[in-house]
Structure formats: C-alpha cells, structure tokens
A and B are shown apart, each in its own frame.
Chain A
C-alpha cells in the first residue's frame, strides 16, 4: 500500500507521510457510513426524476400525431448516411477555412491589440485607424461583410484581384474576426497590473522588452480560454461563406435538400459541426475553470 502512494514515500523526507499508521476512529467510520447512505439516496432520487421527466418527454414526442412526418423529414437516417460523404467533403472546406482564417486572425488580432495599447507617438495615426477598424467591424453583422467582400469586390472588375469566392469569403471572415480577437487580446493586456510594468521598467527593461517578457506572457495566458471560445464560434461561422456559393458542409447539405425536399442533410451537417465544437467547448470550459481556480489560489496566497 505504501509503495503505491508514490507521492509521500518516494524520498522519505516529507514530513506529511501518514501512510498506514492512522486508522479512522469509530466516530469517523460512522460519519462516512452516514455520508455514503446520503449519497446513495441522492443518486437514486436523481435517477428516478431523470427517468420520469425524460421518459415523459420522449413519450409525448413519439406519440404525437406529427411524429412520423417529423421523423421522415429531419431524421431519415438511411438517406442521411447516403449523403454523408458529400457533406463531410464540404466540411473539409470549413476545416481548411478555420485553420487559415484562425491563423491569420491570431496574427492580425495580436498586431491590432499591440497597436491599440501602445503609447508611441509615431503610431498615433495607426492607433486611430485601428480603433475605427475595430469599432466598424465589431458593429456590423458578419454576413454583411461576407456579401460586401464576396460580391462587391468582383463587381469592381479590377484586374489582378481575385474573383474566387472561397478566397474572398475567407478574407471577409478574417476581417471580422480580427476585430473581435484584437479586443480580447487587448483586454488581456489591460488586465496585467500596472505594478508589473513598473517593476519591469524599474529593472531597466525598455517598453518593448517589458511587453515581450512581462506583459504579453501573462496576458495571453489569461485570454486563452476566451480565445478558444472565439475559435468555436469561428468554426461555426465558416458556414456563412456558403452564401457566396462556396461548397462547404452547409452548402453541400443545401444542395441535397433542394433535390429531395428532405431536411435530413441539414441535420447531418449540424451533427458534424457538433462533433467538433462540443469537445472543443468542453475543453475550453475545463481550461477556464482551471485558470480561475489557479487565480483564486493565488489570491489567497
């Protein structure tokens, strides 16, 4: 037993090795038994209530008069499996778009955040432009930006400018998300306490060195959970470029639905998105919880 609890006994020097010596008192044993009983009762109640509520829900849905039609329209699995390869192929576009846009957004967002938090007088006009940019593109629907860029730029008929809707759609997504991400990173920079800057500067570090070695590492760590949140949103929003005629998962599903007037392809596309976004959301939640716990622990120390 003692060998397995490697934590306390590996070097034998720790003063907190209680292994083996201590046996719980009568009082503690009784208390544990009572707690266990209480937990068992709680679990039983939870199971019973879940069964009742969910069971009733399923029963109501399945026995309702429209159920057959509903199932045939949205959940015709055989048809769903048949169109699945085409939708997965379409989702490849969404995935690629997410990777390319995500990388660009991270870089551009970081640059804008640094620009907006800098105090260098030479950068004043750029700071002004960055502020306008963020205000504008955070304030208009992304769909509008996609339409403006995707249909507007080809309408200019400028030579050398691409008419590829996939490229234009990606650019539109990058433009919009960079504005969001810049603000998230900027808020992270602002949450680093001024005393950290003061300490770095009084050690003789220049402004740029302070940013690079002291402010940014702390800021990025803090905004990683919200940035992951934005990544989830980005994955979903890549579906919006389908409006330009890009054959992504949404568009592929739409094409199939238009043929048969059966909506199962849409549901299949939704499921594919969920398979990616739900694990990522869970991961983000856990990370956020961990970082909050760490922050609180630091506050107590």
Chain B
C-alpha cells in the first residue's frame, strides 16, 4: 500500500486550559475524501488549521506524504505550498480582482510567469462557470460565486491536499448547491480532500470516510453509510437527530 497523503497520529491541541483536540488519529489515502461532522465548537476548524500549520499542535504528529510536518524545523511556507485551504468566510482579497486573487500565489510563490498563470486562471474560471467574472472585484459577486473563486484560488496552486472548512456555512440554501457541486466535481477528478461540514447529504455523496467529532475527540468513524445511516453510539445518533430536525439531512 502506498504512503497516504495525510496521516495524523495522536494529535492534541489546547487553547490555554481548554482542550480542543485530543487523541486525533486518522489517515487520508490518495484520491479520497475524509469528512468531519460534529457540532460547532467540536474542533473541526481547529483540526484543519492545525494541518495547515496555522495553529500549532501540542502533541502528536502530522505526516504529509510520509514526512513529519509538525517537526520544529519545518518551514510552514514550504508545507503550505502543497496544501489548499478554503475558508467558511471565503477570505478573498477585496482590493484585488477575481483574476488577481487567483494568480497571486502562482506568480509570487511558485514563480509561474504571469501569462501562464492568467491563462490557467481563465481556464479554471471557465470550467467552473465564472468566465465573465475575471475582472470583477469580489464584493460584486454573490456568496456562492465568491466561494467558488476561493476554491479556484486554491486549485490554481495544484495542491496535493485540499482542506475545506465549512465552505457552505455562510451561504443561503440556493447558493450552497452550486458550491457543493463544484466540490463534487473535484472529488470525481481525484482530488484528495479533508472537509468539515454541516451538510450531511453532501457528506454522504463525497465522503469515503466520515468521522464524528465531539469535544475534540473522534467518537465514531466509518463509511458514510455506517456513520450516517447506522451509527452505533448514542452521541452520534443524538447529533444526527438534531441535524435532521434542523432540516440539514
């Protein structure tokens, strides 16, 4: 079996006295999607931020393509070149056009020539139905369009692994679907992903593995069918029931 893209081993993270993640161990093989579900504050976002080295872990190990990225001597900038991250609140740069947002990292970080970067950005925009938005500023786009631009911005760097942090939570139901179908397309193309989401139906469609996170621990994990349709633990059942009542299943 080949080396998994991502492997976490007994990762622990606390903010002061508050333990946010504890004993987190999981593996993400190439071309698979691992989806984290759980209530707000269960540690999903922190988990993704730790993988991206935006937050520092307190214990354990994070392995990217088999090499330890949680080691003290690792340069975060080098690690992040392999990772794409998409945030709940889009975080596009408001002073740049859509095109400028997308080509910033390829031209400044990866040394791609401007012409090539623009060419590729335009291809990606066309592929995701945003061809005519290239010269717009982000505040002229709908939330769904902004989030798709944010995803494209991550893709333009050809990441080894894409981290998606509740990418639909700030969107209304109509816009949610356009973003979700974009993510589904990526999955079909073989992108390796780790997602945190509140959308159970979506989790069912893209996930190879679903992990239920509660109070910073992975309580239950398995295939989407196992976790979402036939959960074993009362906590998982209770969570899914509450999500169902809120109309998100």
Residues of A whose CB lies within 8 Å of any CB of B are 195-196, 198-206, 209, 213-214, 217-218, 221, 297-298, 301
Q: How far is the CA of A202 from the CA of B80 in the complex (A)?
A: 6
Q: Is B95 in the interface zone, CB < 8 Å from A?
A: yes
Please give me the residue from chain A that is nearest to B90 by CB atom.
Answer: A199
Interface string of B59-103 (1 = CB under 8 A from A): 000000000000000001100110111010101111100000000
| Residue in B77, B83, B87, B93 whose beta carbon sits within 8 Å of that of A214 in the complex | B93
What distance in Å separates the Cβ of A191 from its nearest Cβ neighbour in chain B?
A: 13
Interface pair B87/A198, CB less than 8 Å apart: yes
Q: Give Cα A221 to B104, complex, Å.
A: 19
Interchain nearest-CB distance for A298 vs B (Å) = 5
Determine the main DSSP class of A at the interface with B: helix
CB of B46 within 8 Å of the partner chain? no
6 A-B pairs, CB-CB below 8 angstroms?
Answer: A198-B87, A200-B93, A202-B54, A209-B109, A218-B93, A218-B94
Chain B interfacial residues counted at CB < 8 A: 26
CA distance A170 to B239 in the complex (A): 68
With contact pairs A202-B80, A203-B80, A204-B77 given, residues A217 and B95 touching in the complex (Cβ less than 8 Å):
yes
Do B87 and A221 have beta carbons less than 8 Å apart? Answer: no
Q: Indicate if the CB atoms of A203 and B54 lie closer than 8 Å.
A: no
Q: Are A205 and B108 in contact (CB under 8 A)?
A: yes
CB distance from B152 to the nearest CB of A (A): 12
Q: CA–CA, A261 to B49, complex, Å?
A: 73
Whether B91 and A196, one on each chain, are in contact in the complex, defined by CB atoms closer than 8 angstroms, is yes
A204 and B139 contact, Cβ closer than 8 Å, known pairs A198-B91, A218-B94, A218-B95: no
What CA separation (Å) do A205 and B110 show in the bound complex? 9
CA distance A195 to B170 in the complex (A): 15
* Best-surrounded residue of A199, A213, A221 (most CB of chain B within 10 A): A199
Of all chain A residues, the one with the shortest Cβ separation from B100 is A213
Nearest CB in chain B to that of A217: its residue: B95
Which residues of B lie under 8 Å from residue A196 when comparing CB positions? 91, 93
The residue that B105 contacts in the complex, of A205, A217, A218, A221, with Cβ under 8 A, is A205
In Å, the complex CA distance between A202 and B109 comes to 11
State which of A195, A201, A213 has its C-beta within 8 Å of the C-beta of B104. A213
CA distance A54 to B68 in the complex (A): 79
Given A204-B157, A205-B104, A205-B108, A195 contacting B77 (CB threshold 8 A): no
A205 CA / B80 CA spacing, docked (Å): 9
Q: Which residues of A contact B76 (CB under 8 A)?
A: 201
Contact with A along B110-124 (1 / 0, CB 8 A): 100000000000000
| Cβ-defined contact, A203 with B157, below 8 A | yes
Q: How far is the CA of A209 from the CA of B157 in the complex (A)?
A: 16
Please, how many angstroms separate the alpha-carbon atoms of A202 and B76 in the complex?
A: 9
Contact A203 B95 (CB under 8 A): no
Contact B93 A199 (CB under 8 A): yes
Which residue of chain A is the closest to B89 with respect to CB atoms?
Answer: A195
In the complex, which residue of chain A has the Cβ closest to the Cβ of B79? Answer: A204
Given contacts A203-B157, A298-B94, contact A209 B108 (CB under 8 A): yes
Question: With an 8 A cutoff between CB atoms, is B13 at the interface?
Answer: no
Let me know if A213 and B108 touch, CB within 8 A: yes
A residues in contact with B44, CB < 8 Å? none
Residues of A within 8 A of B77 (CB): 201, 204-206
Interfacial chain B residues near A209, Cβ < 8 Å: 108-109
A residues less than 8 Å from B12 (CB atoms): none
Measured CB to CB, the closest approach of chain A to B55, in angstroms, equals 10
Q: How far is the CA of A201 from the CA of B157 in the complex (A)?
A: 13
B-side contacts of A204, CB under 8 Å: 77, 80-81, 105, 109-110, 157
A196 to B87, CA, bound (A): 11
> Which A residues touch B7, using CB under 8 A?
none
Q: How far is the CA of A126 from the CA of B174 in the complex (A)?
A: 52
Chain A residues whose CB sits within 8 angstroms of the CB of B93 once the complex forms:
196, 199-200, 213-214, 218
Q: How far is the CA of A196 from the CA of B157 in the complex (A)?
A: 18
Chain B contacts of A301 at CB under 8 A?
139
Whose C-beta in chain A lies nearest to the C-beta of B55?
Answer: A198
B153 within 8 A of A: yes
In the assembled complex, how far is the CB of residue B153 from the closest CB belonging to chain A, in whole angstroms?
Answer: 7
Which residues of the other chain, A, contact B89 by a CB distance below 8 angstroms? Answer: 195
> Are B109 and A221 neighbours in the complex by a CB distance under 8 Å?
no
Chain A residues within an 8 Å CB radius of B49: 198
CA distance A78 to B70 in the complex (A): 81
Q: Is the CB of A203 within 8 A of B105?
A: yes
Give 14 new A-B contacts, CB below 8 A, not counting A199-B92, A202-B83, A209-B108: A195-B87, A198-B87, A199-B91, A199-B93, A201-B80, A202-B52, A202-B54, A203-B85, A203-B153, A204-B77, A204-B110, A205-B105, A205-B109, A298-B139
Distance A13 CA – B117 CA, assembled complex (angstroms):
31
The residue from B54, B92, B95 contacting A198, defined by CB atoms under 8 A apart: B54
Which A-B residue pairs are the 5 nearest by beta carbons? A199-B91, A202-B85, A203-B105, A204-B109, A204-B81
Residue interface mask B209-222, A partner, CB < 8 A = 1 = 00000000000000
